[in-house]
Amino acid sequence: MAHVTEIARTDSEAETKEAVARAVALLEAGGIVAVPTETVYGLAADAMNPEAVARIFEAKDRPLFDPLIVHLPRKYLLHEVAEVPEDIAKVVAQLTETFWPGPLTLLLPKKPCIPDIVTAGLPTVAVRVGAHPVFGRIAKAFGRPIAAPSANLFGRISPTSAAAVFQELEGRVPLIIDGGACSRGLESTIIRIEPGEKKPIFHVVRAGPLSDDELKNFGKVRYQKHNDSVENQSPEAPGLLASHYAPRTPLRLIEEPGSFRPEPGKRYGLLSYRGSPEDGFIGRNDWAEVRILSPGSGKMPEAGVRFFFILRELDALGLDEIIAEPVPERAMGRAIMDRLRRASVG
Ligand code: AMP
Ligand code: MG
C-alpha cells in the first residue's frame, strides 16, 4: 500500500489536461486517486471493479460495512446503476434536472452491475453527479461510474483542500488532484424517496449543503433521527456512525453557554459561529485560541465552507480541548450541527 504521494496542480489548462490524464490512467489501471469535488475531496476508484474499490477501503482504514457514493459522469447514466421505481420516477427526474450536477445524493435500488463491496451488501446504491469542473472532466474522460467517499482516514475530519488530503493520506495514495478549495465544504445531502400520498417524502439520511428550503418545492422533507450508537444503526444509514468527523483533540459541543465550566490550567480553543458576545461563549473563558466560522453576520454558506478547514486548523494547535458553540439549525446549520454532534465526545 505504500505510495509516494504526488500532488497534480490544475492552475493552467496544460496542467489540468495532464492531471486529468494521470487520474484517468490510475482509474483504468484499478488504482485509487484523490479528487476534488464541490463538497469535500473524494478518494476515487472504478466503481465496477471490486478490487479497485477494495483499495479505497484499505487506504482509508474504512470498515467494509460503510457503503460508498457512486459518482456518475452524466445524469442519464443513473439508469445504468440504479432502478428508478415507477412511483417516484417523476420526482427523481425533477430532482436530477434541478440539482445535478450538485451536492444531492439519491438512494435508489441498485442494479446488479454495482459490486456488493460498493454498497456494503445493501440493496440500494447512493448516486450523484458532482459539480466540480476538474472532477467532471476526469469522470467524463473515464466514462464510467466512480466510487468516491471522502478522502480522509475513517472517522476523521473530511478534507476540503489538497493539503488536507495530503495530511490524511500521505503514503496511502499515489496521486492527489489539486482542484483548489471545495466550494461547499460539507458532504452531500443524502435522501431516500418515498412516494407519499399527496407529495413524495424525502427522508434526509445525511444533512448537507442542499437545504430543506431547496428540496421542499418537490416534496415533504423529513429528517431522520441522529443514531447515537453503532448498535442501533438503522440499516438505512450504516455509515452515519455516532462518532465521525472527529479531530484528535477532544471536541465538546456545548449547547448552553452557561453550562461550560473551564478547568484551571487547561488550554481551550473555541469554535465559534460568528464570534458574537451575544452568543454567550466568547466572554466566558480566557480562550487559548478562537476560530470563527462566519465572523460578524453569521452566514451559513460561509460557515459551511469553512467548517472542516477550521476544525482541522484547531486540531493542529495542541489544545487540551476544543469547545464548539452551537450554530442555528437552519439551512446548512443543520448539516454543521450534525457534524458537530458526531465529532463531539459527549
Ligand atoms: P462519505 O462519502 O465518506 O461521506 O460516505 C458515504 C456515506 O453515504 C456513507 O457513510 C453512508 O452514510 C452513505 N451511503 C452510501 N451508500 C449508502 C446506501 N446504499 N445506503 C445508505 N447510505 C449510504
Ligand atoms: Mg466520509
Query: Does the pLDDT of residue 224 top 70, yes or no?
Result: yes
Q: How confident is the model at residue 322 (pLDDT cuts 50, 70, 90)?
A: very high
Query: Does the pLDDT of residue 173 top 80, yes or no?
Result: yes
Q: How much distance in Å is there from the Cα of 40 to the middle of ligand 2?
A: 9
* CATH code for residues 6-78+110-178: 3.90.870.10
Angle in degrees, CA 194, 205, 209, rounded to 5 = 110
240 Cβ below 6 A of ligand 1: yes
Query: Does the pLDDT of residue 136 top 50, yes or no?
Result: yes
The three cell numbers locating residue 333: 446549520
- Tell me the mean pLDDT in the region 326-344: 94
Q: How confident is the model at residue 241 (pLDDT cuts 50, 70, 90)?
A: low
23 Cβ below 6 A of ligand 1: no
Give the integer Cα–Cα distance in Å for 256 and 231.
Answer: 29
Q: How confident is the model at residue 237 (pLDDT cuts 50, 70, 90)?
A: low
Q: How much distance in Å is there from the Cα of 301 to the middle of ligand 2?
A: 20
Helix (H, G, I), strand (E, B) or coil at 273: coil
254 Cβ neighbours under 8 A, 6+ residues apart? 260, 281, 323, 324, 325, 326
For the chain, domain boundaries: 6-78+110-178, 251-343
Give the integer Cα–Cα distance in Å for 277 and 283.
Answer: 6
The three cell numbers locating residue 259: 453550562
65-91 in b/e burial notation, b at 16+ Cβ within 10 A? ebbbbbbbbeeebbeebbebeeebeeb
For ligand 1, mutation pick of 64, 70, 206, 230 (most atoms within 8 Å of CB)? 206
- Angular region, 268: left φ>0, alpha ψ -120 to 50, beta rest: beta
Helix (H, G, I), strand (E, B) or coil at 276: coil
Give the global pTM: 0.94
The mean pLDDT value of the chain amounts to: 94
Q: How much distance in Å is there from the Cα of 22 to the middle of ligand 2?
A: 24
pLDDT tens readout for residues 98-109: 999 999 999 999
Q: Domain 251-343: which topology?
A: Rossmann fold (3.40.50)
208 Cβ below 6 A of ligand 1: no
pLDDT tens readout for residues 39-71: 999 999 999 999 999 999 999 999 999 999 999
- C-alpha closest to that of 311 among 253, 261, 258, 240: 253
187 Cβ below 6 A of ligand 1: yes
Q: How much distance in Å is there from the Cα of 281 to the middle of ligand 2?
A: 29
Give the integer Cα–Cα distance in Å for 29 and 246.
Answer: 33
237 Cβ below 6 A of ligand 1: yes
10 Cβ below 6 A of ligand 1: no
Nearest ligand atom owner, CA of 208:
1
81 Cβ below 6 A of ligand 1: no
Q: How confident is the model at residue 207 (pLDDT cuts 50, 70, 90)?
A: very high
Looking at ligand 1, which residue's alpha carbon is closest to its atom 2? Answer: 149
Give the integer Cα–Cα distance in Å for 232 and 171.
Answer: 35
143 Cβ neighbours under 8 A, 6+ residues apart? 73
Looking at ligand 1, which residue's alpha carbon is closest to its atom 1? Answer: 149
124 Cβ below 6 A of ligand 1: yes
Q: How much distance in Å is there from the Cα of 121 to the middle of ligand 1?
A: 12
Give the integer Cα–Cα distance in Å for 78 and 13.
Answer: 30
Give the integer Cα–Cα distance in Å for 146 and 161.
Answer: 20
Q: Do the domains 251-343 and 6-78+110-178 match in fold?
A: no
- C-alpha closest to that of 301 among 214, 204, 205: 214
Cis peptide before 101 (omega within 30 of 0): yes
pLDDT tens readout for residues 260-317: 999 999 999 999 999 999 999 999 999 999 999 999 999 999 999 999 999 999 999 9
E-state strands within the chain: 6-8, 33-35, 42-46, 69-71, 104-109, 124-128, 146-147, 175-177, 189-194, 201-206, 220-223, 251-253, 268-272, 289-292, 321-324
Q: How much distance in Å is there from the Cα of 284 to the middle of ligand 1?
A: 38
